[in-house]
Amino acid sequence: MELLKGKKGLITGVLNDKSIAWAVARTAVNEGAGIVMTNTPVAVRLGQTKELARQLDCPLIEADATSIDDLDRLVSETMDHFGGKFDFVLHSIGTSVNIRKHHPYNDIDYSLMDKTLDISALSFHKLLQTLYKKDALNEWGSVVALTYIAADRAVSGYNDMADAKALLQSITRNFGVIYGSEKHVRINTVSQSPTATTAGSGIDGMDKMLEWADKVSPLGNASAQDCANYVCTLFSDLTRMVTMQNLYHDGGFSTTAVPPSPIG
């Protein structure tokens, strides 16, 4: 469809071929966009990021999204690559060490929670502020971050990630006012179905959750590719008046009356 013909964007969070960000990167390029990919040095060393960037023939810039210095360099180098401003950004970053170490929500390690909030939510503010200060995005540009329904409803097992996602969605609204009124830049979150990825698999009972959500959702679970298709419409000019929204992309799960989940 060439929905993104002539557009240029920055994609965070491609770890491997299961990553939602990988589906978005591939789809954006198929739709005619030029992209730059970024991830942490550790992810680049241990994951498939380098190989996948090579497949799309796009630059890969290492950066930790919690570091202002790294983000500053990332945005400058992305602008250098594109020869100026660009049009869209995907924030696809999240992790909770409390989840990985099996600390339940009522016995949380607060230093790990600081990390969860920094990586999964504050990184979005840091990225937006860096883009804004460097005036890196074109008018009517579009920024999308990925979230989960546990930000809005209690979902057992999602732990401190639920708080991080609630903060991510709040940042979307509050930065959306400033970036929208001053630069016509749109900021939205997409609330995706549970998806079998590396980040997703850290959650205890994820397999049961996937199965259950698939049964409860009238359309079934949305896949990573479905998510990518939706995100690319949000990067496109077809959705230019949509901003500061949390957009459910979950096969109808969020508005279906549901019994308690299998993991409590």
Ligand X SMILES: NC(=O)c1ccc[n+]([C@@H]2O[C@H](COP(=O)([O-])OP(=O)(O)OC[C@H]3O[C@@H](n4cnc5c(N)ncnc54)[C@H](O)[C@@H]3O)[C@@H](O)[C@H]2O)c1
140 or 190, CB closer to ligand X? 190
The Cα 172–Cα 176 span in angstroms is 6
Q: Which parts of the chain fold into alpha helices (H)?
A: 20-30, 41-46, 49-56, 68-82, 97-100, 110-117, 123-133, 160-183, 198-201, 206-216, 224-235
The Cα 73–Cα 94 span in angstroms is 21
In the complex, the smallest distance separating the C-beta of residue 19 from ligand X, rounded to whole angstroms, is 3
Residues ≥6 apart with Cβ < 8 Å to 158: 99, 148, 150, 203
138 or 205, CB closer to ligand X? 205
55 or 138, CB closer to ligand X? 55
147 or 169, CB closer to ligand X? 147
In the complex, the smallest distance separating the C-beta of residue 64 from ligand X, rounded to whole angstroms, is 5
66 binds ligand X (CB under 6 A): yes
93 binds ligand X (CB under 6 A): yes
157 binds ligand X (CB under 6 A): no
251 binds ligand X (CB under 6 A): no
Binding mask 98-127 for ligand X (x = CB under 6 A): ---------------------x--------
In the complex, the smallest distance separating the C-beta of residue 184 from ligand X, rounded to whole angstroms, is 25
13 binds ligand X (CB under 6 A): yes
Please report where in the chains the tokens 């180098």 appear, as a residue. Answer: 77
Instruction: Select the span of 62-70, 80-88, 151-159, 233-241 touching ligand X (CB under 6 A).
Output: 62-70
State whether residue 25 is helix, strand or coil. helix
Instruction: Select the span of 1-9, 90-98, 104-112, 134-142 touching ligand X (CB under 6 A).
Output: 90-98
In the complex, the smallest distance separating the C-beta of residue 172 from ligand X, rounded to whole angstroms, is 13
Among 9, 157, 176, 200, binds ligand X (CB under 6 A): 200
Helix, strand, coil shares of the chain, percent, nearest 5, are 50, 15, 35
State whether residue 37 is helix, strand or coil. strand
Binding mask 165-194 for ligand X (x = CB under 6 A): ---------------------------x-x
Burial 197-209 (b: 16+ CB within 10 A, else e): bebbebbeebeeb
Please report where in the chains the tokens 């550790």 appear, as a residue. Answer: 42
Extract the tokens encoding 244: 């500061």
Kindly tell me the burial class for residue 261, based on how many C-beta atoms sit within 10 Å of its own C-beta (0-12, 13-18, 19 or more): middle
Closest CA to 231 of 17, 6, 15, 30: 30
146 binds ligand X (CB under 6 A): yes
Q: Give contact residues for ligand X (rule: CB under 6 A).
A: 12-13, 15, 19-21, 39-40, 43, 64-66, 92-95, 119, 146-148, 192, 194-195, 197-200
